[in-house]
Chain A
């Protein structure tokens, strides 16, 4: 496809307005159908048996009693799934995580599953399955797992990326390194150096909708899967590959999705549901309980990070270094690598070095969570940057402005930046009234910056024009927060028609070409590019049809404001044809009018944000209260500003929860102790103030409208912004996230006792 993605600086009529979303009424009336809201005839209920041990060899599983229970239609274990032992390692891990083959690797790891005629019988059947475990020593802490004496989780893993090939297996799967210059030289030039270690605990995406699917496999090898996912095409590929189905015969329909934030980018129970259906010969509905969601679906990494930053008296950073250790769960990942890349991305550094270590632990497989790995690295770096500014006697914002990356700066992760927004967000924060508002006793203000790459990827869109001139837009990126409204605006903009003439839907995998997931802040960025391309292709056809209707050469027809116009004085008496006029005649001018596009949306512009927050601390109890919060972020171009604000506010709220109260708590037995919303404490309505937003628009040169992804960056600064605010309120540097009241009170007491 010859599609020119370059930014043109056009004036907008639809983009940038705030119309009502097309799925609004369904969602306020309870009609919208989510993962668990769908049923099929003859459907069975699937339930999964999970390991109560953090680490154990599965010696044998006896399912015979469960199979004999009346109402049970299928029981499966890993033996009923393909054995990928000598195949693709990544696919092996995905399947092993869905159903443990030889060892249970974490508390909650699936070991068997049943399908029965109702939930009660299914639960009863699980109790009849006898698993003989040989319990092994376990390790759940990231630092302990790196210790030489730690129990080995996978004895076939030898650390990659070391200069010398290791001779012993290790829980460290990979070492990665980024940076440039010479940090030793840089630190030698510094007048002030701050060096600190930080820890962050594991958090969960905390979507309110548990994973849910309905799977139906037919004897002829065709299958249907209804599922809440961020990427139904990816689920199709994975499920087909894992179960030996042909991808095009497995139709995956994405339901409305009740939150994902990265956690619904991986298959968990879907291969199990398909396998149960195949064995039972009936559709199977499998819905996780909240307990299962926490114990067995994707949390983020727990981390341990060392940071060292040096600067000269005038406030110039001379060197920056970080070592980052990230937990991956029991399977290899690249989480520390992302942390190592993003850690210093906000700054213009002559000498910088980051090293990441990927660490296996007996916890659930780490999954992406909104700008995965970046918030923890930003917490450590932005805390140290604040401390350094303090030591230098410089204002924290001015210090960052002085060292901020700009166009032409070599990023700490390698390449040189194009036009970027870190400087403008800092300037906006400096001038924001929030920075000047007075603080009361026990209150502190903090600010911090954040970076995220943003991604693009494979994208496909169909745009169909009905004979009445209405337009349907079929996209393949799942709508997680209003993208159907944004993409309708883009189509309306390009076609020159009114938003109300359009309706956007998310098409299933059999109706549209492949699309990557809605992840990496790519949904609106990528699908808007494909929508523009599809609309332009449709316009070509519309011009051609108008030319036919007028019987003039198509080159003389231009498209303006939703109309075909005959160009040139000789056509003076031809009045413009609207899209509707042309559509009405389409049956006799060549048939249906549609615009299709398939493309790789590359060139997603990087994204920066700076946040400000005020926190009040009760010095007697360590209780915190968020008094005020402001988000400033570059959107490139805000297609639907209300939903951009929503992304900013939602990310900030998740970051606030992470900073203050959310954490996975494991007992000495390696079992998760807080697998529910009661003790995994996400922010409630009364915990938060209004979250003010300021949208900056520094156009992305690689998108026709200048759009950048906006979904993820907003979760990056809050951990550090809040840590800086708490530290400023109480005068003690907080180095362990979450800053729960017991941790704050302990830090205060330690300080008081001197």
Chain B
């Protein structure tokens, strides 16, 4: 079980809740379970969501494991210059 925090706008489509406890071993499973629970999240995942695990931002490594007790934060996937 990991505790996941969603950024403001995303929490609006996740039942208005910022914090969620989810049973997921990696980012892929986390996204799948979130989408099952809140179908409104799916288009956001398609557009791109980044996952910060203990402060390190992962944008594409969906196989990244979510260590128990880690700080998990979802962010918009951004562009750079």
Contacts and interface: CB of A to CB of B under 8 A. Distances in A.
Query: Do A and B bind?
Result: yes
Interface of A: 160-161, 163, 174-179, 205, 261-263, 265, 334, 337-338, 341, 368-372, 411, 413-418, 452-458, 519-522, 600, 602-606, 701-702, 711-712
Contacts of A711: 81
B73 A415 contact: yes
A370 B80 CA distance: 7
B3 interface: no
B61 interface: yes
A702 B56 contact: yes
A323 to B, nearest CB: 13
Contacts of A519: 79-81
A414 B55 CA distance: 9
A397 to B, nearest CB: 25
**Most chain A CB within a 10 A radius of its CB, from B7, B74, B80, B81:** B81
A221 to B, nearest CB: 28
A370 B74 CA distance: 24
Nearest to B18: A180
Interface in B46-64: 52, 54-61, 64
23 contacts: A175-B9, A176-B7, A177-B8, A177-B9, A179-B8, A337-B76, A368-B81, A414-B52, A414-B73, A415-B57, A415-B73, A417-B55, A453-B78, A453-B80, A455-B59, A455-B78, A456-B60, A457-B60, A458-B60, A519-B80, A520-B79, A600-B59, A602-B59
A176 B80 contact: no
Contacts of A453: 57, 78, 80
A180 B73 CA distance: 13
Give me the 5 closest cross-chain CB pairs, A-B, nearest first. Answer: A520-B80, A262-B81, A177-B8, A415-B52, A415-B73
Contacts of A604: 57
B26 to A, nearest CB: 13
Nearest to B71: A416
Contact of B81 (A176, A341, A371): A371
A652 B30 CA distance: 40
B57 A334 contact: no
Nearest to B55: A418
Given A602-B57, A603-B56, 20 more contacts: A176-B76, A178-B8, A205-B81, A262-B80, A262-B81, A265-B79, A337-B76, A368-B81, A371-B81, A372-B79, A413-B7, A414-B52, A455-B80, A456-B59, A457-B59, A457-B60, A458-B60, A600-B59, A602-B56, A602-B58
By secondary structure, the A interface counts as loop
A265 B57 CA distance: 21
B80 A161 contact: no
Contact of B60 (A521, A602, A605): A602
A443 to B, nearest CB: 32
A521 B78 CA distance: 12
B80 A371 contact: yes
Nearest to A419: B55
B72 to A, nearest CB: 8
A712 B54 CA distance: 23
B7 A372 contact: no
**Most chain B CB within a 10 A radius of its CB, from A368, A370, A602:** A602
B60 A418 contact: no
**Most chain A CB within a 10 A radius of its CB, from B9, B73, B80:** B80
Interface residues of B, number: 24
B59 to A, nearest CB: 6
B80 A372 contact: yes
Contacts of B74: 414
B41 interface: no
Given A163-B12, A415-B71, A334 B76 contact: yes
Contacts of A178: 7-8
A418 B52 CA distance: 11
A416 B69 CA distance: 13
Contacts of A702: 56
A413 B71 CA distance: 14
B66 interface: no
A163 B60 CA distance: 30
Contacts of A414: 5, 7, 52, 73-75
Contacts of B76: 176, 334, 337, 341
A134 to B, nearest CB: 34
Contacts of B55: 411, 415-418
Nearest to B11: A177
A176 to B, nearest CB: 5
A731 B39 CA distance: 55
Nearest to B70: A416
B78 A334 contact: yes
**Most chain A CB within a 10 A radius of its CB, from B54, B74, B76:** B76
Given A337-B76, A372-B80, A603 B54 contact: no
Contacts of B73: 414-416
A88 to B, nearest CB: 10
Given A262-B80, A372-B81, A413-B75, A418 B12 contact: no
Contacts of B52: 414-415
A537 B60 CA distance: 23
A369 B80 CA distance: 8
Contacts of B78: 334, 337-338, 341, 453, 455, 520
Contacts of A522: 80
A103 to B, nearest CB: 25
A368 B56 CA distance: 23
A369 B81 contact: yes
A417 B53 CA distance: 10
Contacts of B8: 176-179
B9 A161 contact: yes
Contact of A418 (B5, B9, B54, B75): B54
